[in-house]
Amino acid sequence: MIQVEGIKLTFGAGTPLETRALRGISLSIEEGQFVTVIGSNGAGKSTLLSVLAGDVAPDEGRIVIDGRDVTRLPAHRRAELVARVFQDPKAGTCEALTIEENMALGIARGSVRRLKPALDPARQSRFRDSLAELGLGLENRLSDPVGLLSGGQRQAVSLLMAALAPMKILLLDEHTAALDPRTADLVLDLTQKIIDRHGLTALMVTHSMRQALDHGSRTLMLHEGKVAFDVAGEARAGLDVPDLLALFRRRQGGELDDDALLTG
Amino acid sequence: MSLFSFLGAIELGLIYGLVGLAVYLSFRVLNFPDLTVDGSFPLGASVCAAAILGGLDPITATLLAILAGAVAGWITAILAVRFGILHLLASILVMIALFSINIRIMGRPNAALLGQTTLFSPFEGLSFLPFDQARILVELVAVALVTFLLARYLNSDQGLALRATGANPRMARAQGIDTERQTLSGMALSNGIVALAGALFAQANGFADVTMGLGTIVVGLAAVIVGETLFRLKGILGALIACLLGSLLYRLVIAFALDVNMLGIEASDLNLVTAVLVGFALLAPKLRARMRKAAR
């Protein structure tokens, strides 16, 4: 269970560039829930994820993950609770390290790293098995540097890495946005598969209303640092993209000026 | 080339090979250009010499030198990661400070170890092996040991965390790695190894001198770059061995250049030659890319 209580965050307070990125966001996410988050540029989607991950601490509010108040913990001290896949395929893996070395980094997420060799036959066969399920042929390339992989392959490896160690929530930050449409679909399918198989709690930020409705069990729209609407269950089941727009209009009394949300 | 200058080049190549390993660790693994080594090399020599002259046994003296080097590297890292001083500048500050500290440690700008018991003393006067070759054997064992241990460390879960810290700190933090702590321990390790090289140099040559560190970083860089350009060996152990080979090759080339008098190179020209060599090696990938682009 993840509780976010009254999170506020302002960047550059007191300067001409002051941005009130989050203006009081509260939500609670049940275990096993897959939440999709939409919103136009600057709505606060990525900032919310950064706050959850611990990259930035909020000015106000509290974040409680599984009963632990993590509001002030830096990213590396809450990694046992939070796994992430970044938007930039280069951000989630180390280019210079091999596929198996990257996965060894992932499998040790949140646990104490010791002096025993990072790679042993047991780990390698586990890595090979999980790579084989991707069907990308990566299981034969364990000792290739990740730098040789395509963006889509790297995102796939990042997802596998996230699933190697236990977590309380998986954060997906527009992780298909940098990929071509076909690869994006592939990675999205894989995401769904991994979340289903491990019964993960997940928060996926996306730029596309279509994606947000096709995946997950709950959809949140952020607007100007606040939750514009939050739909789940039956209320969400029959919704289509135009319905979301109508919903937004009703709540905000305004039009959306970001075309990208409609086309995606 | 005479046997004498050949053996001398091998000996220097081995000792500075350790510096190459250390520079690989800071420069390549941690992505931290570290000039502390110009101070921690003579620091290792000074501490070792002062300790031996003060009556300590050579093993303890050498361990003290390693510890002193580690502290120096740790301070550089603290200045950079805790206080946000640009890493190059932080390392220059520590390097400059070490110049004074080294003189304090020895009580004067240099110290002679002639006639003292060193790590090499047990191998002096063997009937079957001349001393200069015996020294090389001891150094070879020391360098092999450090290389093996370092490779073993970098391939462990902890070592992998260190490598991720240098390669992609954001990803490292997301994997639960305390990148600050990794930088501190990596820099301590790197400068500890440099100080070990300084301690071995002092014991092998029978003196420590406060100016002996000048250009150590460039020599270390030369080893790393010559090694990775000429010997593309796979894996971490391969990369470390390439540094050692790079260092040996560099020393042999220099000994050869000094030997061939017609080039007119004198010992005092070495820093210039090294700087030009390393400069070219650093430029090579860019020049190659530009040439490839022009060819298209």
Question: How far is the C-alpha of B40 from the C-alpha of B195, rounded, in Å?
Answer: 5
**Is A113's CB within 8 Å of B153's CB?**
no
Backbone conformation region of residue A170, classed left if phi is above 0, alpha if psi is from -120 to 50, else beta: beta
Residue range B203-211: average pLDDT? 95
User: Which band of pLDDT confidence, cut at 50, 70 and 90, is reported for residue B207?
Assistant: very high
In this prediction, residue A264 carries a pLDDT of 45
Q: How many residues does chain A have?
A: 264
pTM of the prediction? 0.91
Please report the pLDDT score of residue B272 as a whole number.
84
Topology of domain B3-295, CATH: ABC transporter involved in vitamin B12 uptake, BtuC (1.10.3470)
State which residues of chain A have pLDDT below 70. Answer: 253-264
Taking contacts as CB-CB distances below 8 angstroms, the residues of chain B near A111 are: 176
Domain ranges of chain A: 2-81+167-263
- Judged by CB atoms closer than 8 Å, whether chains meet at A115 and B153 is answered as yes
* Residues of B with Cβ-Cβ distance to A76 under 8 angstroms: 172-179
- Is B176's CB within 8 Å of A110's CB? yes
Q: What is d(CA B32, CA B95) in angstroms, rounded to the nearest whole number?
A: 15
B261-295: pLDDT as tens digits = 667 778 788 878 888 888 887 787 788 788 888 87
Name the residue of chain A whose CA is nearest to B163's CA: A97
Is the ipTM beyond the 0.95 threshold? no
B-chain residues near A95 (CB < 8 A): 167-168
Containing A25, the helix (H) or strand (E) segment is strand A19-29
Residue spans of the domains in chain B: they are 3-295
In chain B, what's the furthest Cα-to-Cα distance?
Answer: 67
Question: Which pLDDT score, from 0 to 100, does residue A245 have?
Answer: 84
Distance from the B162 Cα atom to the nearest Cα atom in chain A, whole angstroms: 11
Sheet holding A218-223, edge to edge: A82-85, A169-173, A202-205, A34-38, A218-223, A226-232
- Are B35 and B185 spatial neighbours (Cβ–Cβ below 8 Å)? no
Contact list, A157 vs chain B (CB under 8 Å): none
- The shortest C-alpha distance from B210 to chain A (Å) reads 36
Range name among A232-246, B145-159, B192-206 with the lowest pLDDT average: A232-246
Q: Average the pLDDT over B133-158 and give the result.
A: 96
B20 pLDDT above the threshold of 70: yes
Residue B279 has a pLDDT of 84
- How near does any CA of chain A get to the CA of B235, in Å? 9
Q: Which pLDDT belongs to residue A7?
A: 94
Structure tokens at B202: 């002092």
Q: Which of B152, B160, B170 sits opposite A91 (nearest CB)?
A: B170
Binary contact (A77, B176; C-beta < 8 A): yes
Output the pLDDT for position A125: 96
CB contact under 8 Å between B167 and A95, yes or no, is yes
Sequence-distant (≥ 6) Cβ neighbours of residue B284 within 8 angstroms: B229
Give the Cα separation of A115 and A7 in Å (integer): 39
Percent helix, strand, coil in chain B, to 5, is: 80, 0, 20
DSSP secondary structure, B216-275, as one string: HHHHHHHHHHHHHHH----HHHHHHHHHHHHHHHHHHHHHHHHH-GGG---GGGHHHHHH
According to DSSP, the residues that pair with A172 across neighbouring strands are: A85, A204
Structure tokens at B33: 């250009």
Question: In whole angstroms, what is the distance from residue A22 CA to residue A8 CA?
Answer: 5
Closest Cα in chain A, distance from residue B158 (Å): 5
Which residues in chain B touch residue A109, judged by CB atoms under 8 angstroms apart?
174-176
Residues 6+ apart with CB under 8 A from B84: none
Tell me what pLDDT residue B106 has. Answer: 96
* Interface residue of B158, B175, B234, B237 to substitute, partner A, most A CBs within 10 Å: B175
Cβ atoms of B200 and B18 closer than 8 Å? yes
The answer to whether the Cβ–Cβ distance between B160 and A97 falls below 8 Å is yes
All residues of chain B having their beta carbon less than 8 Å from the beta carbon of residue A100 are: none
Closest in B156, B170, B175 to A115, CB measured: B156
A/B interface, count of CB pairs below 8 Å? 93
Alpha helices in B155-206 (DSSP H): 157-167, 169-174, 179-205
List CB contacts (< 8 A) between A97 and chain B.
Answer: 160, 163-164, 167
Task: Report the chain A residue with the minimal C-alpha distance to residue B167.
Answer: A94
Give the CA distances from residue B187 to residues B59, B93, B172, in Å, rounded to whole numbers and listed in that order: 23, 15, 17
Query: In this complex, which of B156, B175, B179 lies closest to A117 when CB atoms are compared?
Result: B156
Q: Any idea which fold A2-81+167-263 has? A: Rossmann fold (3.40.50)
